[in-house]
Structure 1
Amino acid sequence: MAVTLAEVAAHAGVSPATVSRVLNGGYPVAGGTRTRVEQAIEDLGYIANGPARALAAATSDLIGVLVHDVADSFFGILAGSLQSALAPGGQGGARRLAVVCNTEGAPAAELDYLALLEGQRAGGVVLTGGAVEDPEHTRALAARLARIAATGAPVVLCGRPPLPLPAGLPVATVMFDDRGGAFRLTEHLLTLGHRHIAYVAGPPGLSTTRERLAGHRDALREHDPELPAHCAGLTVHAGFERSAGYDATRELLRRGAPFTAVAAANDTVATGVAAALREAGLRIPEDVSVAGFDDLPVCVDTAPTLTTVRVPLREAGVLAAQLVTGRRALPPGGITTLPAELTVRASTAPPPATARAATRLPAATEGGRP
């Protein structure tokens, strides 16, 4: 039976008019009151679009695609591939409208977009990128996705771990082997002879960051049980932007501990790492090797070309499109893990016979930025 606006109002302890104002937006509602109403909507599973509730089994041709940042090449490639695959020529499938929702990595925005897609009776939802590892958000996200999937609309988690959802729902997970890829990258640096390996990790509390950092530490530990502790002071958490790589590398240089290689959270971060090293008078790879992750198109245009780990973004986009439209059956267990392959280029080499990695920033560059 449909949940009514009056029931939401009673649950929140406010008037129906207040609930309506919260739903419609554009009207001033006190922060605490708005929070109570939104929580009541979440608890009761209220959908503002009445016809959507009445036609719960019906869905539209709209496919919602949630990305952290559409301007980021990682998400742009993934979303573009997915969108193209939603209406492949010559396959006779119905055309689908992909609506890309830019969350900026904010958990609240993720939930808000899902609520809007639920109200629009979306025919499917694809969530891309690393998951925020917060138990409260995970529970709220799982509840919202379970409601969407219960209408028959497929849900695909792409590039993130599975969620605790009831069995039998049309939910698929497409994962990247981030841990294995990071292991192979660090193993490559160790094989070259590097022992002082700096690591510019992504933001803490994100599944992608955890997996890639774990793979890096696994490789260090397998080579020498003492290496993870030895390199711990050479690990810096930063964002996924170029400027984050630049700032993190300057911080490493300020700390003064020598390093002969830097593994970056992604390729964009690696370009910032390279800029900071060049500014400090260090050559790549003669003095310091640099490596990234993802294998974005920019990798073959950097000087030198960037050693990285190839994540199959285009393949993942096609697979997600097939799963969210039902063109491909759910795999056993609902999970597909795509490989992440080491791609060696010119930015990594054996460390110099006498490691001359800088221990501080030259005075001329203090406070500077390229």
Structure 2
Amino acid sequence: MSPTGTPRKPSAAATLTDVAAQAGVSPATVSRVLAGNYPVSRSARQRVQRALRELNYVANTHARALAGVRTKTIAFVLADVRGPSFAEAAHGVEQEAASHGWLCLIGTTQGDQDRELALVRLMQEQRAGAVILIGAVDDDAKDYRKQITELARSLQTAGSLLVLCGRPPLDDDVPAAVIGYDNSDGAYALTSHLLARGHRRILFLAGGERNTTSLARLAGHRRALTTFGVEFDPDLVAHGSFTRASGYQLTRRRLLGDRDFTAVFAATDAMAAGVYTAATERGLRIPDDLSVVGYDDVELAQDLRPRLTSVHVPYEELGRTAARVGMAEDHQREDWPGVRLELKTHVVIRDSVAQLG
């Protein structure tokens, strides 16, 4: 109702002053209700909230940002929404955020680090409560690390938090949370499984040569070879991307000549699916002629025939944990100690590895 007792007609262009008039309060009281960080009487709050609904009022996000209001929004930035592992993590973030009444915004970068920086800046301007970045980065991108460090500090100043998932931490004095998983140990366990089955010539299909996830998985693979006394052969490493097409092309090229390996370690399950296709085209049976393992343990691993042995990464829990850390208030303290958590992985043994000898 307006001060004259006449209901105002709803308007998509309603202003804060309109809301105040309909609720019978001052514009300052409406601002306090919207901000949620000042005491307002229960009756005044209820009148303002009713007026907001009746007038279909939409708060000006930029104005709230200028006022220093931290919104109940989590930004989740990833390379590609089509990746099944990223999709599981995104689901975890969204579910955890929704359970606490927060909204989740998703942005994609297509692997472009400049685009990622731009998205983080945008979410900083919008006063997002937390910004979650997931996925590997270029291990040699010094300028990127410098810029993302500056953004982490700016986010903290604004009362927000940068959360890194599945990527290396920044320096100890940088206010960012790190939620990871034992990438190298998972690869070590998976290679050990192949070696225990008698395989000594293992083709490792990796991602980019400077990709941090790929480097960690390759490091675990090499460590297992050393443990079993098997010499590392750099000719048994092929670099590509974490896609089905890359797994297919890399395997197809290696199968055109004499096959000098008995097993393939694909750095992702998607790459492993490409290995299956290339092997089938050459008339090879899995695992009778060629053993194959993957990494991530997404649904695809169970859909392949034979079912794929893979390393299970708890991506949904990774997303949920990142959201919980981002929504917590304690990171706004000056003496916040930081958060570094590592989730465990494990090998899921199925039907794609043969016993030799």
Superposition TM-score tier, normalisation by shorter sequence:
0.7 to 0.9
Q: Secondary structure at the match of 1:258?
A: coil
Question: Do the aligned residues in 1 keep the contact of 2:81 with 2:108 (CA within 8 Å)?
Answer: yes
Q: CA deviation at 1:319?
A: 0.7
One-letter amino acid of the structure 1 residue matched with residue 129 of structure 2: G
Question: Do the aligned residues in 1 keep the contact of 2:152 with 2:161 (CA within 8 Å)?
Answer: no
CA–CA separation in structure 1 for the residues paired with 2:142 and 2:204: 27
Residue 188 of structure 1 is aligned with which of 177, 182, 193? 193
Alignment pair present for 1:338 and 2:343: yes
Note the 1:17-166 alignment, pairs <5 A.
51=63, 54-56=66-68, 58-88=69-99, 93=100, 95-133=101-139, 134-164=141-171, 166=173
Q: How many residues align?
A: 293
One-letter amino acid of the structure 1 residue matched with residue 275 of structure 2: V
One-letter amino acid of the structure 2 residue matched with residue 137 of structure 1: Y
Residue 321 of structure 1 is aligned with which of 314, 320, 323? 323
Shift of the 278–327 alpha-carbon distance from structure 1 to 2, 3 Å rule, reads: farther
One-letter amino acid of the structure 2 residue matched with residue 295 of structure 1: D
* CA deviation string 1:89-111 (max 9, x = no partner): xxxx3x11111001111101101
Question: Do the aligned residues in 1 keep the contact of 2:76 with 2:107 (CA within 8 Å)?
Answer: yes
One-letter amino acid of the structure 1 residue matched with residue 80 of structure 2: D
CA–CA separation in structure 2 for the residues paired with 1:108 and 1:165: 24
Q: CA deviation at 1:327?
A: 7.3
Note the 1:129-278 alignment, pairs <5 A.
129-133=135-139, 134-164=141-171, 166=173, 169=175, 171-224=176-229, 226-229=230-233, 232-278=234-280
Question: Do the aligned residues in 1 keep the contact of 2:181 with 2:343 (CA within 8 Å)?
Answer: yes
* CA deviation string 1:274-301 (max 9, x = no partner): 1101111111000110000000011111
CA–CA separation in structure 2 for the residues paired with 1:106 and 1:126: 16
Question: Do the aligned residues in 1 keep the contact of 2:182 with 2:343 (CA within 8 Å)?
Answer: yes
Q: CA deviation at 1:332?
A: 6.5
Q: Secondary structure at the match of 1:123?
A: strand
Q: Secondary structure at the match of 2:179?
A: strand
Shift of the 255–106 alpha-carbon distance from structure 1 to 2, 3 Å rule, reads: farther
Q: CA deviation at 1:221?
A: 1.3
2:17: which partner in 1? none
Question: Do the aligned residues in 2 keep the contact of 1:130 with 1:208 (CA within 8 Å)?
Answer: yes
Gaps (5+ residues) in structure 2?
A: 1-60
Q: CA deviation at 1:52?
A: 6.5
* CA deviation string 1:169-189 (max 9, x = no partner): 3x2111111100000000000
TM-score if structure 2 supplies the norm length? 0.78
CA RMSD of aligned residues (A): 2.0
CA–CA separation in structure 1 for the residues paired with 2:62 and 2:263: 58
Q: Secondary structure at the match of 1:194?
A: coil
Shift of the 282–257 alpha-carbon distance from structure 1 to 2, 3 Å rule, reads: closer
TM-score if structure 1 supplies the norm length? 0.75
CA–CA separation in structure 2 for the residues paired with 1:332 and 1:267: 36
CA–CA separation in structure 2 for the residues paired with 1:271 and 1:137: 32
Q: CA deviation at 1:329?
A: 7.8
Q: Secondary structure at the match of 2:98?
A: coil
Task: Compare CA radii of gyration and give the structure with the larger one.
Answer: 2
Q: CA deviation at 1:51?
A: 4.7
CA–CA separation in structure 2 for the residues paired with 1:189 and 1:312: 22
Gaps (5+ residues) in structure 1?
A: 1-48, 354-370
Q: Secondary structure at the match of 1:228?
A: coil
